[in-house]
Amino acid sequence: MTDRIPDRLKSFFEIESVPLTLSSRDRADMPVVISNRAFCELTGYTAEEVIGRNCRFLQAGFDNTAERARIRECIEHEQDDYFILANQKKNGDRFLNFLYLAPILVPDCSERFVLGTQFDVTNELNDELEGHFRKVGDVLVGAAEPSYSRQVVIESKKLAAMSVRNVLRYILETEAGRRARSLVAG
């Protein structure tokens, strides 16, 4: 599944310590085409168990209906956004996943991708955790006035995810620029 992914992108995934996935918008059910070691450590799944599947499998029956609708809209409109989802690790442990999605354009590739950056925010949002797992989708997502500490967690994770996205986009853009300059010079 990684045959169309540039080596620099693969290298970025290998060295990045933040849990990452890259999914194809153009393949049926948006499968993961590459994941990194940090994602595997977070979820307990091996790369072989993740590649080719939609990350929805992490929801393990949790009713993330409202967030899933927002995810579909985000992907359809090719926008960046974040989501807090009830997920389950391979060993059955539940966790709150702060998921940040961003469209990624890979130069010289007609396929469209979505970068997924994940953070386990279970400990940071511990006060809200129990209610979230009893009534998934309403407690965290429907909170009218999020607590200050929750907002700090969200903003810090958004900044971290946006930094990863920006570095990845820079790597891909500079690679395309180098190729274009070599074609002009050659």
For the chain, the structural domain boundaries read 7-185
pLDDT digits (tens, 9 = 90+) for 12-57: 999 999 999 999 999 999 999 999 999 999 999 999 999 999 999 9
pLDDT band (50, 70, 90) for residue 135: very low
Q: Could you confirm whether domain 7-185 is CATH 1.10.390.10?
A: no
What number of H helices and E strands is found in the chain? 6, 5
Q: Supply the pTM of this predicted model.
A: 0.82
Nearest to 92 by CA among 145, 141, 133: 133
For residue 69, count other CB atoms closer than 10 A to its CB: 11
